[in-house]
Amino acid sequence: MKALLEQYREVTPPGTVDFLRQLGRRVEGKQMLHVNSTRYGGGVAEILHRLLPLMEELGVKTRWEVLTGTDLFYRTTKSFHNALQGMPQQITRDMYDSYLQVNRDNAKSLNLEADVAMIHDPQPAPLIDARPKDAKWIWRCHIDVATPQRAVWQFLRPFVVRYDAAICSLPKFAQRLPIPQFLVYPSIDPLSDKNRELAPEEISRTVEGLGVPLDKPILLQVSRFDWFKDPVGVVEAYRMVKKSHDCRLVLAGGTATDDPEGAEVLLAVQKAAGIDPDVHLLVLPPTANLEINALQRAATIVFQKSTREGFGLTVAEALWKGKPVIGGQTGGIMVQIIPGMTGYTVNSAEGAAFYAKRLLNNPNLIATIGRQAKEYARERFLITRHLQDYLGLMVHLCR
């Protein structure tokens, strides 16, 4: 069997694997630590599951630690997540105290020894208090903190500025900081169960097994049930399209272990969907990677109608499968969707419906945009490019 990295030669741009091996030799034997707040659910955990074995193969001794917290801690960090993306939140002194106490407790129980540590998002940011001597620590922010609720950012900033560097997903997501900042796009793994090629019979068997017939065009959104993903707006767009095109809507998602709002959002979507037999709400576990892959490949058009977004890896997944994507004009979606080339960006349900109808009226346009979308994803959003960025940053910090 081929070494893991060799398996990427056929799907990545020429020269990628050889360049990664050269970079790996520069940091061989170094120890790298990743810390986040959940092992399953959400894009961060998904990337780490796929990225760490590749780093190990290149000689980087890599570990992944996960915070353990209370219900109050997770409610607090969800409020932080919303507040940092501009949604006003009421955060009490008890919530701040719980956040700090959970980090202090984890600092005592987690193994934080490494040459380089990457601390992901606000949840574990205060672990900087426990940084071992001579270690290089990076704060990796996956969300848009450009226009935060000021009180929350002022609370977090004293922790962030003590890191050796920060990484954001887009330049416009960043705050001014007195430490070096780097740009790293998130990525997808083209060989994972969520993104690998599927035979037509595997697609049909999997999708129909989920209760979704393949008898008409499918409009699809894959996202955890979150207000910022605007699933209710997707239902509204579908109803406008349905007036002129017989189609189905599939909303597939779930919740992450660190997101207590998912059930509330799901109830709102169920109410919006009503009893329409052509609307399918699929609550999937975090491990339903094959099912998501099959749904994306079976879809005619993919939505990602977010009103706020970090990067939005479901867009990259759909592009890789050759699907036109209609996405919200926000965050990393605007880097992935080139209007008229890989899909369309919109600010309303009406706009989403307009472009969906345009595509359904022109199958050749769907095919053309799909081909362009796949090549765009190949060049910019595969895990091998992500690995290259992290290895390059390690080389820089460990000089």
Label residue 260 by pLDDT band (50, 70, 90): low
Label residue 258 by pLDDT band (50, 70, 90): low
Q: What pLDDT sits at residue 310?
A: 79
pLDDT digits (tens, 9 = 90+) for 265-289: 999 999 999 999 999 999 998 889 9
Coil vs helix vs strand at 9: coil
Q: Is 200-380 the same fold as 5-187+382-397?
A: yes
Residue spans per domain, the chain: 5-187+382-397, 200-380
Label residue 190 by pLDDT band (50, 70, 90): very high
259 pLDDT higher than 70: no
pLDDT digits (tens, 9 = 90+) for 195-207: 999 999 999 999 9
83 pLDDT higher than 60: yes
Burial 211-222 (b: 16+ CB within 10 A, else e): ebeeeebbbbbb
- CATH second-level architecture of 5-187+382-397? 3-Layer(aba) Sandwich (3.40)
Alpha helices, DSSP H only, in 192-340? 200-209, 231-242, 262-273, 289-298, 313-320, 333-336
pLDDT digits (tens, 9 = 90+) for 304-335: 999 988 788 899 999 999 999 999 999 899 99
- Are 45 and 38 within 8 A, CB to CB? yes
Phi and psi based region of residue 133 (left: phi greater than 0; alpha: psi -120 to 50; beta: remaining): beta
2 pLDDT higher than 90: no
Rounded CA separation 62/229 (Å): 32
Burial 331-367 (b: 16+ CB within 10 A, else e): bbbbbbbbeeebbbbbeebebbbbbbbebbeeeeebe
Rounded CA separation 143/173 (Å): 7
CATH fold of 200-380: Rossmann fold (3.40.50)
346 pLDDT higher than 80: yes
pTM of the prediction? 0.86
- The whole-number average pLDDT for the span 152-175 is 96
Token duo for residue 327 = 């996405």
pLDDT top residue among 260 and 396? 396
41 pLDDT higher than 80: no
